[in-house]
Amino acid sequence: MKRLINTAAVVATAMLLASACSAGSGGDSGSSGFEFWSFTGINQKADVEVYRKAHPDVPVKLTEVGSTTETAQALTAALAGGKVPDLVLIQGDDLPKFMRSPENFVDLSTLGADKMKGDYLDWVLKQSTTADGKVIGIPTDVGGMAVAYRKDLFQAAGLPTDRDQVSKLWPTWDAFAEVGKQYVRATGKPFLDNTPTSIFFQAVNQGTERYHDADHKLSYDRNPQVKAAFDLTLKVFGTGISAKQSSFSTGWTAGMSKGDFAVVSAPSWMLNSIRTNAPGTAGKWDIATIPGGSGNWGGSYLAIPKRAKNPRAAWAYITEMQSPAGQLAHFLSQGSLPTTPSVYTDPQLVGRTDPFFSDAPIGRIYTQSVVNIKPFYIGPDDATIGSELLNTLTSVEQGKVDPANAWDTALTNVRNALRG
């Protein structure tokens, strides 16, 4: 998953964690427990509690560092000389920068990952495997796409509420915007939480290429698919259907509960955010197909830093919690879509419905959104590029950047960030 970040908070968090302790000694220290760093918003506490109940003699210290980017910054600082955790969760777009220095991590093949490779989607595991075959991370989930919508608000606007009928309303993003305009005309209220996250980050992840071309060269400034997703976002913003509430902000959380907007683009991991942030709206939501039908946004990896004190304890956690059975259990409890295709036909997954979302068949909806994906290359600068493009579009929504100048502003911001 991806979050907007506060730069000062990133730097402060990284410095704090880097200077907190001296470097670890490496190797198992005799303790059967381990220290685990995660980012916030995906409820890793639930998985840790499951593991603790199964292994009450294994102490697990979970630290939720901050956003995905804050966690990556903190890990970068720790790898440079601070105390490293035994286990760390790395968001997919942040992983490539760490793949530049695989020597900072345990090659999980030496612990048994070579026997598990066949359990995972090839295109997902490939991202955490070096050219010479070292496995740096085990994938925990993928972010199949869909749209969460408020049935009660749709009904008040005179729109269909049945999920199949709603899905048919928007086969394309242009059709989606037309539905939004109809909603605004009927209610006088915004339709969508925001356009940068709910439009751009969905559309840009539906293409065959993103910020690099087929030769792995940077192409964000000349890839027509990126420009089309950016222009689409500006176009949808111009229709006036956005509530201008940045994802994961205080206003976004409050607006979700109050019904300040009716629609949120919801990769599979977003469902838990909606449940957590708006518990009083249970049964009012449903899930429809994403315009365009498929795509992936998000996904994470578990890695073990080279200087971890208890790598084998961390590996035991990975093998149990990220096995096909473990990922299936996590999906059934938290909604994160497995990276283990063997469970995609499991009756528990296929038949899974979610009462919070009006018994939507989330297993079927989300697996269908990822099975036909043609993956694109993700490079070490993708997280930076994506953040700058997204932040520029957020500035447009906040009235700080003229839409007519947005693309040039975004490219300037990206280039400055890459040079920095």
What's the CA gap between 415 and 262, in Å, rounded?
36
The Cα–Cα gap between 214 and 62 comes to 39
Tokens linked to 266: 């919801």
Looking at residue 349, what is its pLDDT?
93
pLDDT grade, residue 23 (50/70/90)? very low
Q: What tens digit of pLDDT does each residue of 109-158 get?
A: 999 999 999 999 988 999 999 999 999 999 999 888 999 999 999 999 99
Tell me what the pLDDT averaged over the chain comes to.
90
pLDDT single digits (tens) 165-223: 999 999 999 999 999 999 999 999 999 999 999 999 999 999 889 999 989 999 999 99
pLDDT of residue 272: 85
> Distance (Å, rounded) from C-alpha 357 to C-alpha 354?
5
Within 10 Å of residue 131's Cβ, how many Cβ atoms? Answer: 7
Instruction: Write the DSSP string, 217-269.
Output: -B-TTT-HHHHHHHHHHHHHHHTT-B----TTSHHHHHHHHHTS-SEEE--TT
What does the pLDDT read at residue 143?
87
Question: For position 11, what pLDDT does the model report?
Answer: 33
Sheet with 138-144: list strands edge to edge. 60-64, 34-38, 87-91, 296-303, 138-144
What is the average per-residue pLDDT within 48-63?
A: 95
Helix H or strand E encompassing 34: strand 34-38
Q: Residue 385's closest CA among 418, 355, 419? A: 418
Q: Among candidates 277, 341, 365, 403, which has minimal Cα distance to 141?
A: 341
pLDDT of residue 3: 38
Which residues sit opposite 287 in a β-bridge?
148
Whether 268 shows a pLDDT value over 50: the answer reads yes
More confident residue, 336 or 353: 353
Q: How confident is the model at residue 383 (pLDDT cuts 50, 70, 90)?
A: confident
**Domains by residue range for the chain, with CATH:** 7-142+298-355 (3.40.190.10), 144-296+359-419 (3.40.190.10)
Query: How is residue 188 annotated by DSSP?
Result: S
d(CA 151, CA 409): 38
Q: Which two tokens stand for residue 402?
A: 């003229």
Q: Read off the pLDDT of residues 318-342 as tens digits, 9 standing for 90 and up.
A: 999 999 999 999 888 877 899 999 9
The strand order across the sheet containing 263-265 reads: 263-265, 147-150, 285-288
The region that residue 244 occupies, defined by phi over 0 for left and psi between -120 and 50 for alpha, beta otherwise, is: left
Cβ 368 vs Cβ 296: under 8 Å: no
Q: Are 80 and 18 a contacting pair, CB within 8 Å?
A: yes
Residue 380, Cα to own-chain centre: how many angstroms? 16
pLDDT of residue 76: 96
Dump pLDDT digits (tens) for 228-247.
999 999 999 999 999 999 99
Pairing of strands 285-288, 87-91: unpaired
Identity at 150, one-letter amino acid code: R
Please say if the pLDDT value at position 296 is more than 50.
Answer: yes
pLDDT value of residue 340: 94
Instruction: Region of 41 please: left (phi>0), alpha (psi -120 to 50) or beta.
Output: left
Q: Which pLDDT band holds residue 372 (cuts at 50, 70, 90)? A: confident
Cα angle, residue 313 at apex, residues 302 and 327 outer, rounded to 5°:
45
Rounded CA-CA distance 24/341 in Å is: 37
Residue 7 reports pLDDT greater than 60:
no
pLDDT at 41: 75
